[in-house]
Amino acid sequence: MLFNSVEFIFLFFPIVFLAYVYLSKRQPGWAIAWLSLASLFFYSWWDISNLPILLISIAFNFYIGKSINERRGASKRQALNILRLGIVLNLLALGYYKYAHFLANEGFRLFDVALSVPHIELPIGISFFTFTQIAFLVDTYRGEVDECNSVHYSLFVGYFPHLIAGPILHHKEMMPQFKNVVIPSVFSDDFRNGMSIFLIGLAKKLLIADSLGNYANYFFNGVASGGTPTFFDSATGVLAYTFQLYFDFSGYSDMAVGISLMLGIRLPINFNSPYKAKNVIDFWRRWHITLSRFLRDYLYIALGGNRNGATRRYLNLFITMLLGGLWHGAGWTFLLWGALHGIFLAINHFWRHLTGRFAMLGKASSAISWIYVPLTFISVVLAWIAFRAASLADFYSVLRGVCGLNGFTLPSQIVAIIPKASSWIEGRGVVPLLADGTVMGFVELIILLLIVSCVTWCFKNSNDMSTNRRLLVAVMLAPLLIQKIFFGGDVEFLYFQF
């Protein structure tokens, strides 16, 4: 049941909302229990066979958290051992479903064994609810958990707006809200704000992400099939994916925030115009903010952070991002993406150190500061190639194409419009990976990319826009949204794969 589906918008959410309002006026505890049950139903809609996995995970981690809390005062060593057991078993479960197939097949290939392991179906949302609960266990050991109510905990983990693709929740943000229920109303500012944010997120998904996704998929599938991408199709294909990923995931996060706000519950903001970042450090403060927070607080700091000298700091940054890449998926391309961002962050911190230490470099840095935003954007885009490519070979092929090493053949549409253009650049038009007349023509794609670029850089983050402006935009886009909801087909969000 997708947020952009007819079932969710016109059946599931209205029923959940009305029942929640009714129960919250009579008994807040019943209202929270209702949301918890509705969340389990929502999860079961995808595949009911995965529901026992979620329930076992919730029950196990609640029991482990309670055990840690009971022993923390009497014996810190016992509490620490229970924490370690909880983390190990959580990671083993995640590792089995997410990495066993990849590791086993890579091992067989390494030792030249003619065997393969059948694909293991990944329970949807397992990365998000596992990380959420690991953070809860660590904070319980630290003595930072004030409450451990089973119904509240179940909702904290399984809360349907965040369960499938985030944001990664923190107990301090959610538990107090479940304890002090705010009675929602269709006449409240929260409902208006939530509705407007939801509609903007819906527009991002249906009108931008899905349109660009058609082209990005065609391009990368063509590369995976053995095509050799030239400069123009590589550049446009990679940019199409760059903006598809942003508007798809940002759209989901907006919709999650909006849905929750209509219920009177506030989720953390997950995006803050990341493509406007001035450097890679700034990018990770803006992109998938809750994941960045988790990696910093529960991995980077646990590795030692910046407490053991500069060399160890850069190594910790690299390891953190490498594991962050692995969290996204079992594959060498995800490891490469994480490694690239680890290197980018280390370079960024080293440059900051140099400019802070040497006055001349600091002045030079200020003089060329105008170049930092485009340089950061280009670095992020090149890393996205690894994130999307089906294999390291595909990554290398697309990277060569973006650098112009596979030639500069012009798209046939451009040659048709400007015949003399074919004499300026090698080739006379047919770029096989371009979806001319099949998915989207090159000219239409360029126009869409220009519009999307303007939207990205000229407009504020949707959460920073005024409610009236968001509603005005949504009303203007309403005919297109309605058409897409009923006749556009249900396209899953990209982060459902992670």
152 is catalytic: no
How many C-beta atoms surround the C-beta of residue 73 within 10 A? 9
**CA-closest candidate to residue 399, choices 229, 247, 187:** 229
Nearest-angstrom CA–CA distance, 155 and 136: 13
How many C-beta atoms surround the C-beta of residue 15 within 10 A? 11
Residues with Cβ within 8 Å of 297's Cβ and at least 6 positions away in sequence, in order, are 135
Residues with Cβ within 8 Å of 175's Cβ and at least 6 positions away in sequence, in order, are 146, 147, 149, 152, 156
Q: Is 470 exposed, middle or buried (0-12, 13-18, 19+ CB in 10 A)?
A: buried
Please answer whether residues 138 and 84 qualify as being in contact, where contact means their C-beta atoms are separated by less than 8 angstroms: no
For residue 145, give both structure tokens.
């958990």
Please tell me which residue in 162, 328, 341, 349 is annotated as part of the active site.
328
- The torsion defined by the Cα of 195, 199, 202 and 203, in degrees rounded to 10, comes to -170
Catalytic residues: 328
